[in-house]
Chain A
Amino acid sequence: MIGYVVRRLLLMVPILLGLSILVFLFVRALPGGPAIALLGERATEESVEQIEEQLGLDQPVHVQYGRYLGNLLSGDLGTSVSTRQPVTSELARRFPATFELTIAALIFAIGLGIPLGYIAAKRYQGVLDNVSLVMSLIGVSIPVFFLALLLKYIFGVQLGWLPTIGRLGITVSLEHPTNFYVLDSVLTANWEALTDSLKHLVLPAIALGTIPLAIVARITRAATLDVLSEDYVRTARAKGLDPLVVDRRHVLRNAMLPVVTVVGLQTGLLLTGAVLTETVFAWPGLGTLILNAIRFRDYAVLQGGVLVFAVIFVLVNLIVDISYAFLNPRIRYR
């Protein structure tokens, strides 16, 4: 098992190298550059040239890449053109925000999705099954942007129950040892901040988690139906095992394999691209960072961001693969 994990981690290196070249070339293929993006109507030939020279963009591409790779290997991801801060600190600062939101969305999606899917399967073609089918369809069809605005309108503007922007209200102060607001509140025993940061998480988590919820529910239902018709389930029941034990030990555990795969993929997607949700909720995470970077042709941030995303994806999928071995003892890694 250890060998397997180490091999997978080593594989990351060529993957990331190849990816870095692709991204490097791709962002430079985007029309426009940071100079025009920064200057707008004030751009003149001279000022554009001046900025490009300053940023080293007038060098041939392979020279630029060589420099970039050299910096990368010493941990320097470059400087953001629009904020003039190092890319590493920009990414480090925003990652906890996105991570916290992703966890909240996952708790929502899995916490509701698995039970819903399971029950729908158990009461196959019953009322709950059909209702959940319809709701899943709505869930995957509604554009996230629209759903987010709708949720904010109902629960924020009309009912006034929940806040609509940011991670914390303006009247609340909080120390930030980790930049995970919920964790920080607990660590500093700041209960006002705890409830406030949780309240700020509710709507974005629901908006972001609705599609994963629908998907998880459907996959759980399908997987459960599959397993329920297996011989070993019939055998277990025939043996006289308590139905709950049958459910937990045989049905659920085996149904979870495809669900875990899906959750792993969803996590990767959530972590790397909650752009729409973050924008609508003014959530200061990686999504808004990347969106701005595209708008301003901020090459350094785009390159650094994509690399970080790739690392996240690979790690999450590795965790998913490893978890198979725990769920299904027949799967062994050598």
Chain B
Amino acid sequence: MRGYLKWSAVFLAAALTLAACGGDDGGGPEQAEGGATLAFGTSADPVVLDGALVSDGESLRAIDQMFEGLVTLAPGGTEVVAGLASDWEISEDAMTYTFTLEEGVTFHDGEPFNAEAVCFNFDRWFNFPKPFQGADASYYYQTVFGGFAGSEDALYESCEATEEHTVTLNLTRPSASFLAALALTNFTFGSPAALEEFGADEGRINADSLFVPTGTYGTEHPTGTGPFMFSEWRRGDRLVMERNPDYWGEIPGNIQTLIFRPIAEGAARLQALQTGEIQGYDLVDPQDYQTIEGDENLQLLERPAFNVGYVGFNQAVEPLDDLAVRQAIAHAINRQEIVDAFYAGQGVVAKEFMPPELFGYADDVTEYEYDPEKAKQILEDAGYTLPVKIDFAFPTDVERPYMPDPQANGEAMVADLEDCCFDIEVRTDTWSPDYLAKADTGKYGIRLLGWTGDFGDPDNFIGTFFQTPQKAWGFENDEIFGCLNDAEVETDIEARTSMYEECNRLIMDFLPGLPYVHTKPALAFAANVTGYEPSPVSLEPFSLVTVDE
């Protein structure tokens, strides 16, 4: 036994010695040669590093650092600016786009970037094999381009490399949101040589008749033109990128080595930031805001709001088809109180279905102030006996960026409605699949839901909701449909802006739902990190970031 004790003591001593020697992980980033190292805590691994085949935020974040497209967004906003295309011309009929490309640009493998490379990429997407056309993989391509080769709805017709650095895109019908959409990460370019060599489109059909990708392009050889180049990817551990020494543009920041570390728990991300194991992270839990703001070694950055939480009305369910009832509901709910109580200071009350940062936002829409007496009056004038019976649904077991606590929101709103003039039948379901499926197919009367924007175009918000008849909303309103249809194809940006403003006024008069909140997600960084520009669509290049010593 003494022997045993002895070895236990040795073990303990060894463990403590290890712990005591070098506590370097609390120190901060080490300077690699020529620049700084920055480790960033993400919430999950990317799926694959091939822009055309992903729709999840973590894949897009990583791809944004290594790949570029024809146009991009000015940092921190949604304004479209030049990317790999220095200039462009749109034809009168908005069906032909001609781009002048930057010269002297090379991919990370040394291959030249030119018009041929652009067309190679566009054709690749258009001609994706069937298994790549799934909604999860190519959601954005389908949203923007409508379809693939052989589909009637396809927006893309062809690409011509008219000169070495001039490329023309031909569309099948006029589109105005096309240019903004080209700034999406999904339309960034890979080196044709690498795409072919590493089998980006290769796969085999397994015994299940399922397509299994077999190429290594998206997992080991992603090759773009961006300020960072792929170095190493160990899933669950880290994704390492290195500064591109031959980058064609400027890299204002001083990061030499950029590392993404997936850490699923928000609390674990915070602790890793506090110990210095990472120098920044995304998706800060609202309950941690105070801790970060109170720590002089840390800083909290807010993203401009780019989402909307709303109370949706299904007008196929009576009496929601009566405008008076919808207006009464709008006046009966105290939105400010709810936003103050359940959003940890990160929410603002919404008055229309898209965020203020987006062009087409109208300041002068009809507003519905909290006034339960007025609500009662409206109902009585319309001939209703109080209380009016309606069902109200909200999801359980989920957190959404626009709705961290659906249950709290739902219960508070139900209480407001019942205090006023309604008799509510509460319905709850788990988020996936029941709630989403039922909401989508119009099984609820009133429902709580929301939307996070994908790209900087009003079409992505109010177009998605109200441009066509949908079971979820249960109405047909030709005035609104017409307004949105016309605005979508208008190519003059000023005209388009006023058209969308008008549509927003129409929508808020018709009141198909009640928007109530926009939220501003937050990121946290060490105090010595500067230059990071939070973007409403999360397009945030680390090439701008400097780590001071």
B residues 423-443 near A (Cβ < 8 Å) are 430, 432-434, 436-437, 440-441
| A83 close to B263 (CB less than 8 A) | no
Instruction: Determine the residue in chain B with the shortest Cβ distance to A122.
Output: B1
Of B26, B238, B263, B436, which is within 8 A of A41 by CB? B436
Tell me if A2 counts as interface (CB < 8 A to partner B): no
Report whether over half of chain A's contact residues are helix, strand or loop; otherwise say mixed. Answer: helix
| B441 close to A45 (CB less than 8 A) | yes
Of B44, B211, B234, B275, which is within 8 A of A163 by CB? B275
Report whether over half of chain B's contact residues are helix, strand or loop; otherwise say mixed. Answer: mixed
Given A43-B436, A67-B207, A93-B235: A161 in contact with B20 (beta carbons within 8 A): yes
Cβ of A71: which chain B residues have Cβ within 8 Å of it?
206-208
Tell me if B48 counts as interface (CB < 8 A to partner A): yes
Tell me if A235 counts as interface (CB < 8 A to partner B): no
Cα A202 to Cα B45 with chains together (Å) = 25
Tell me if B23 counts as interface (CB < 8 A to partner A): yes
Cβ of B24: which chain A residues have Cβ within 8 Å of it?
169
Tell me if B268 counts as interface (CB < 8 A to partner A): yes
A44-77 vs B, Cβ < 8 Å mask (1 yes, 0 no)? 1111101100111000000000011011001010
Cα A40 to Cα B21 with chains together (Å) = 47
A residues 150-185 near B (Cβ < 8 Å) are 152-153, 155-157, 159-171, 176
Q: How far is the CB of B7 from chain A (nearest CB, A)?
A: 8
Tell me if B305 counts as interface (CB < 8 A to partner A): no
A residues 23-37 near B (Cβ < 8 Å) are 31-33, 35-37
Of B55, B268, B400, B436, which is within 8 A of A281 by CB? B268
Tell me if B119 counts as interface (CB < 8 A to partner A): no
Number of B interface residues, CB 8 Å?
73
Given A202-B18, A280-B268: A165 in contact with B277 (beta carbons within 8 A): yes
Cβ of A115: which chain B residues have Cβ within 8 Å of it?
1, 4-5, 8
| B4 close to A114 (CB less than 8 A) | yes
Of B11, B135, B265, B271, which is within 8 A of A51 by CB? B135
Given A86-B212, A167-B237: A152 in contact with B15 (beta carbons within 8 A): no
Cα A51 to Cα B134 with chains together (Å) = 6
5 extra interface residue pairs, beta carbon distance < 8 Å, beyond A35-B135, A42-B55, A119-B5: A39-B139, A56-B208, A112-B8, A157-B271, A169-B25
10 contacts between A and B (CB under 8 A): A41-B449, A56-B210, A118-B1, A155-B19, A156-B25, A162-B25, A165-B278, A168-B237, A170-B39, A288-B264
Which A residues lie at the B interface, using CB under 8 A?
31-33, 35-48, 50-51, 54-56, 67-68, 70-71, 74, 76, 78-79, 82-86, 93-94, 97, 107, 111-112, 114-115, 118-119, 122, 149, 152-153, 155-157, 159-171, 176, 195, 198-199, 202, 244, 247-248, 252, 279-282, 284, 288, 291-292, 297
